[in-house]
Chain A
Amino acid sequence: MRLRSPRPDRMQQKTEGASAVLIMVLILLLLQLWLLNIAMEAFMAANNSLAVPTFLASAFCFALTLYALKALASLDKEGKSGR
């Protein structure tokens, strides 16, 4: 009996793709944490003018994260159809 080859090259490509998405999402999350910190500092100082801009910037980062997740899902689909 001979087992199917796991096709390491294709799998390696997928892993590299997932790593790239992971790094991007991680950077976006760090940016969001920084924005949250700014919003909190401003709130503690009774300066509310930064609440909306930081929220909008954070929402943009979240949208990019969702887009990255979509790319990850398409990577998954690609892998399944390629089998």
Chain B
Amino acid sequence: MTEEHRIHWREDFPIGQEEDQYVTRREFTRFLALASGAVLIGNGYFVLRRKQQSEQAAEPVEIAGAASLQPGRALLFYYPTPSDPALLIRLQSGQYVAYRQRCTHLSCPVLYSEERNRLECPCHNGMFDAATGQVLAGPPPRPLPRIALHVEEGRVLATGVIGS
């Protein structure tokens, strides 16, 4: 094989392996930077939701039907937005307590058990104390977020969400 034949393949493949690696890494780094921006936008979403929630929670909302709630019974209501279900419970002592209905494990709706006086998550058997919202058993990592209540003249008002 002559010298001229030997160098023909170089003309067909003019990009060296090193250069190819460099370009691939550079492009991948650019893609990662794009992903970084997307993650930042994701974090920004939680900041916006926080702002929205603080604006909505500023106004107390009356819970309809709370006055006629018997001790040992629970009532479903929505607070602070119409897409946030919550449970108002009247304890045997007559005191009112309210929690968000989402389990702190995987957000399944929790249900009030009158017999056991506790909130139970049917998905993974998480259990919460009805009086305090503390975890009694199961996989939930945190207590249920509590809803601050204000009782005046027989009316029950939800005034804010207390984080766990």
Contacts and interface: CB of A to CB of B under 8 A. Distances in A.
Interface of A: 1, 3, 6, 8, 11-12, 14-15, 18-19, 21-22, 25-26, 28-29, 32-33, 35-36, 39-40, 42-49, 51-52, 54-55, 58-59, 61-62, 65-66, 68-69, 72, 76
B29 interface: yes
Interface stretch (B49-57, B58-66, B88-96, B120-128): B49-57
Interface residues of B, number: 40
Contacts of A12: 18
B122 to A, nearest CB: 18
B161 interface: yes
Interface string B28-64: 1110110111011011101101100110000000000
Contact of B19 (A11, A28, A39, A54): A11
Chain A interface main SS type:
helix
Contact of A35 (B43, B100, B104): B43
B16 A25 contact: no
Contacts, number: 121
Chain B facing A: main interface SS:
helix
Given A1-B7, A29-B32, A52-B50, A59 B22 contact: no
Nearest to B44: A55
20 contacts: A6-B16, A6-B18, A11-B18, A12-B18, A15-B18, A15-B25, A26-B32, A29-B39, A35-B43, A42-B163, A44-B107, A45-B163, A45-B164, A51-B50, A52-B50, A54-B43, A58-B43, A62-B36, A62-B37, A62-B40
